Structure 1
Amino acid sequence: MNFNATFIGQIVVFAIFVLLCAKFIWPPIMAAMQSRQKKIAEGLDAASRATKNLELAQHDAASKISEAKASAAEIIEQANRRATGIVDEAKVEAEATAKRIVAGAASDVEKERNIAREELRAKISELTLAGAEKILQSEVDEKKHSELLDKLAATL
């Protein structure tokens, strides 16, 4: 091997290049790599925290949904109980109203029956008087025979 001045010059230039690179270029590259490494680590930590927060949020959402379902079921049950109560109250009220109507109708029927009886008695007494008048061919005095006619009407 031949060592000449060119080779020695190249070694010196290469050594100066390595020293300059080590002094001025390598530290900023290493700083950038460390900064990038730090940012990646922080990103991974943030992703891990976000995953945990997401799991907590999903758990909270699931528990709130189950609570809401339970609350809705309770409200529906209360509404059903209230509806049943209202229906029962309406039935009782309708039955009471029906009884009042039936009692009123029975009372009206009884009144109408009594009125019809009285009218019938009056008609019978008139017809009896007319019949007796025709039979006797004379006029029967209603005032004289009112007591007799009242007894006759009472028996009818």
Structure 2
Amino acid sequence: MSINATLIAQLIVFLILVGFTMKFVWPPIVKALDERAEKIAAGLSAADKAKAELSNANKRVEEQLSSARNDAAQRLADAERLAQSIVEEAKSRASDEGAKIIAAAKAEAEQESVKAREALRQQVATLAVKGAEQILKREVNAGVHAELLTRLQTEL
């Protein structure tokens, strides 16, 4: 056989192989590659969508956290105001109680003072009566009376 005949035979076999591959082998490979490309595109699209959803979820979480912080701060401020009003009310009550106690003490001191004055008046009256008795027992003399009055003053 000559080299030309071998070459032509190999060329014919090669062309048959190429035709067979183009008709039966190539379409399933292209189909598989297209499906793979679609899956990759769908995966990338799903990843982008998931990123967007994650971003939205993070924003919602931040908003809720901010709302919770504001709510907590508001409740804390309300509690502080309530505590302050309770303290002020307690101070007011204590001040009122102190004023009542002071008023009662003043009234009691005034009563004691009145009792002491009454007792003093009684003693002065008794001493005056004693002094008058002594004056009346002796003779009426200005010098003696002055001496008795001086003693009476010293006793008072």
Q: Could you tell me how far 1:94 is from its partner in structure 2?
A: 1.0
Q: What's the TM-score once normalised by structure 1's chain length?
A: 0.67
Q: What secondary structure does 2:101 align onto?
A: helix
Task: Give matches, 1:1-156, under 5 Å.
Answer: 4-117=4-117
Q: In the alignment, which residue of structure 1 is the partner of 2:136?
A: none
Q: In structure 2, what is the Cα distance between the partners aligned to 1:61 and 1:19?
A: 61
Output the amino acid matched with 1:22: M
What is the CA RMSD across the aligned residues, in angstroms?
3.2
Q: In structure 2, what is the Cα distance between the partners aligned to 1:18 and 1:130?
A: 161
Q: In structure 2, what is the Cα distance between the partners aligned to 1:21 and 1:111?
A: 130
Higher helix share: 2
Q: In structure 2, what is the Cα distance between the partners aligned to 1:128 and 1:32?
A: 140
Deviations 1:49-98 (A, max 9, x none): 11211221122122222222322232222223212211221121111110
Q: What's the TM-score once normalised by structure 2's chain length?
A: 0.67
Output the amino acid matched with 1:104: A
Structure 1: gaps (5+ residues)? 134-155
Structure 2: gaps (5+ residues)? 134-155
